[in-house]
Amino acid sequence: MTPAAPDGPPRTEPGDRAVLVLRLAAPLQSWGAQGAFNVRDTKPEPTKSGVTGLLAAALGLPREAPLDELLTLRMGVRADVPGSLLRDYHVVSDFRGKPLPQSGVSAKGVQRPTAPAKYTHVTSRYYLQDALFVAALEGPRDLLVRLDEAVRAPHFPLALGRRSCPPTQPLALGVEEGNLEGVLHELPWQASERAKESYAYKLGHRRGLDGPFRPATVPCSVTLEDDEGDDVLQDVPLSFDPHDRAFLGRRVRHEWLRIPTGFPDPDAATEIEAGDDIHDPFELLGR
């Protein structure tokens, strides 16, 4: 991690590149890429528009402000604890028993009643519960240091996708040396100690042991921004202006990494052992 000066922020040199690391965890988070009024979805991991919005809020940028500086950052996301999907179900009605109005308004600014009359309206909101992600952003060191300071003392309240999803602490993990892939590979597993122990006991049970089996590494899925990637995500925000919202696509690639668990005395070496299933994300739920 970049060392701090005795009485000031970390020293930086223009042109240096580094990696800002964020820990995105909360009881609920929601990363919608699209959705109508009645259905608000969530992606299975943080989007670039959501993380960019969090950083813009930390800096205190107005919604109409240009985002060019933030969009130059290359992003990667590691799913340390994927969490589980939660559906928040709502039924809307008028307590007076009247038909619900239409969403649009007339030229006089008056809402017309629905035709045929509609007395209830169903809406759904989707969230990820008990999830934890590591988001890493690679770019100029001076910009990343400024962002790190802003996240630690944000101008506006921060949220993980929606205002109703405040993050738990710590959120900022600092500015690291190296590149995006290296930082995501070397940063220890960020799951809670309780989740780690639960994982170890489940792994021990699968191996026929009476107690926990604490491995040195754990498999995690990773999504990396890559111009040569074989997947395209439409989550690059050109503007957060509510009257002129626009998004572009970006190419990404998906990988699985074995990352250090952080157990003080692991029972297994870092190499993948015969019979291990690196594509079993249910191990990481910590349940």
- The answer to whether residue 100 is domain-embedded is no
Q: Rounded mean pLDDT of 262-277?
A: 63
- The answer to whether residue 151 is domain-embedded is yes
The residue length of the chain stands at: 287
In angstroms, rounded to a whole number, what is the distance separating the alpha carbons of residues 167 and 24? 7
pLDDT band at 15 (very low <50, low <70, confident <90, very high): low
Q: Has residue 278 got a pLDDT over 50?
A: no
What proportions of the chain, in percent to the nearest 5, are helix, strand and coil? 20, 35, 45
pLDDT (tens digit, 9 = 90+) per residue, 219-237? 999 999 999 999 999 999 9
The structure's pTM equals 0.81
pLDDT (tens digit, 9 = 90+) per residue, 90-107? 888 888 888 888 777 777
The total of structural domains in the chain comes to 1
Q: What is the CATH number of the domain that holds 58?
A: 3.30.70.2660
Tokens of 221: 């899925």
- The answer to whether residue 148 is domain-embedded is yes
Distance of CA 100 to the CA centre of its chain: 36
Q: What is the mean pLDDT of the chain?
A: 85
Separation in Å, CA 100 to CA 78, 85, 108, 125, 183: 44, 30, 18, 20, 52
pLDDT (tens digit, 9 = 90+) per residue, 36-69? 567 788 999 999 999 999 999 999 999 999 999 9
Q: Has residue 258 got a pLDDT over 90?
A: yes
Residue 130, pLDDT score: 94
Q: Has residue 239 got a pLDDT over 80?
A: yes
- The answer to whether residue 4 is domain-embedded is no
Residue 286, pLDDT score: 43
Structural domain including 78 reads: 17-91+114-285
**Prior bond to 188 cis, omega within 30?**
no
Distance of CA 57 to the CA centre of its chain: 15
Check: CB of residue 119 under 8 Å from CB of residue 93: yes
- The answer to whether residue 261 is domain-embedded is yes
Residue 156, pLDDT score: 96
- The answer to whether residue 157 is domain-embedded is yes
- E runs forming strands in the chain: 17-29, 39-40, 74-81, 84-92, 101-105, 111-113, 121-140, 172-176, 217-225, 231-239, 246-260
